[in-house]
């Protein structure tokens, strides 16, 4: 089927992250991401590609069930392990969930963001515990700080939307702790691992209790323009979160005329 009409009706913008929700032919909502060469479509519920591996909602669910059924006896050789192929399959599933949660974050669908980031954190935890080759775990562990940051951001914004700034502060502080714990566990607390994520959450947390000056906001706007120019849409989305928080706070402190 030629999708030219769809592409013509939804023009690609290289300077923004274009995502939308549409009604599918099956009556279910679909998540669509506009790319330079087309459109990526994901399911809103279950596994993003709409498949049910081994008749389970996700591959993670399948391996969790296998783990529960396994005697996990290393002496008899029946210990549950994830082979290289198992880890590859889980990584590919995690990429699907990644595409969905960054899109849902852009659409401010925070419950979905939380669910999908927790899904990927569970994959990380399972690989950490049961990967036959620990290099499989380490190759994906590098993403833990980012996933934790997005999870924290979604939870914090949900609280802010309910005017629960104190709760949001505690959520962010806990997120920072989880990232630092992960850094310490790997002996990387003084490395760049997780540094950017911790710094972002600390800066975002400061905005709950303080007002931004025009110069600070201008600086953020310049950072946003730079991120968009180099097509770093993840950073751009995060910067927009901080700018959005400035605007919401100013509305609360500006007296009615």
Exposure letters 116-140 (e unless 16+ CB within 10 A, then b): bbebbbbbbebbbebbeeeebbeeb
**Domains, the chain, ranges and CATH?**
58-69+79-239 (1.25.40)
| Cα within 13 Å of Cα(188), Cβ side | 14
pTM: 0.81
Q: Tens digits of per-residue pLDDT, 217-231?
A: 556 666 666 676 566
Q: What is the pLDDT of residue 211?
A: 46
Could you tell me which residue, 108 or 192, shows the higher pLDDT?
108
E strand or H helix that includes residue 35: strand 29-35
With 70 as the cut, is the pLDDT of residue 212 above it?
no
Residue 29 has pLDDT above 50, yes or no: yes
| Structural contact between residues 147 and 135, judged by C-beta atoms closer than 8 angstroms | no
Confidence class for position 14, pLDDT limits 50, 70, 90: confident
134 within 8 A of 142, measured Cβ to Cβ: no
Q: How confident is the model at residue 213 (pLDDT cuts 50, 70, 90)?
A: very low
Share of the chain above pLDDT 90, in %: 52
Which residue would you say has higher pLDDT here, 82 or 75? 82
Q: In the structure encoding, which two tokens stand for residue 194, read together?
A: 């997780």
Structure tokens at 112: 């979905």
Each as own residue / partner, the long-range contacts of residues 117-122 (CB below 8 Å, 24 or more positions apart, any chain) are 117/147, 117/148, 117/150, 117/151, 117/154, 118/151, 119/58, 119/60, 119/94, 120/94, 120/147, 121/147, 121/148, 121/151, 122/60, 122/64
């Amino acid at each position: 089927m030629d999708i030219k009409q769809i592409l013509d009706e939804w023009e690609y913008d290289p300077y923004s992250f274009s995502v939308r929700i549409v009604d599918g032919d099956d009556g279910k909502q679909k998540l669509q991401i506009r790319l330079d060469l087309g459109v990526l479509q994901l399911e809103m519920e279950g596994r993003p590609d709409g498949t049910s591996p081994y008749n389970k909602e996700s591959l993670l669910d399948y391996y969790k069930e296998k783990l529960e059924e396994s005697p996990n006896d290393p002496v008899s050789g029946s210990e549950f392990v994830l082979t290289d192929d198992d880890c590859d399959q889980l990584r590919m599933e995690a990429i699907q969930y990644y595409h969905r949660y960054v899109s849902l974050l852009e659409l401010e669908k925070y419950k979905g963001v939380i669910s999908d980031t927790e899904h990927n954190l569970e994959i990380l935890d399972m690989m950490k515990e049961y990967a036959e080759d620990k290099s499989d775990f380490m190759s994906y562990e590098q993403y833990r700080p980012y996933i934790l940051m997005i999870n924290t951001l979604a939870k914090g914004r949900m609280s802010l939307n309910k005017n629960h700034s104190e709760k949001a502060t505690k959520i962010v502080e806990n997120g920072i702790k989880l990232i630092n714990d992960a850094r310490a566990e790997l002996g990387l607390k003084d490395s760049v691992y997780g540094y950017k994520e911790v710094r972002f959450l600390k800066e975002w947390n400061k905005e709950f209790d303080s007002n931004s000056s025009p110069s600070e906001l201008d600086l953020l706007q310049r950072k946003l323009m730079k991120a968009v120019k180099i097509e770093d849409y993840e950073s751009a989305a995060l910067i927009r979160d901080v700018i959005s928080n400035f605007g919401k706070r100013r509305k609360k402190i500006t007296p009615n005329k």
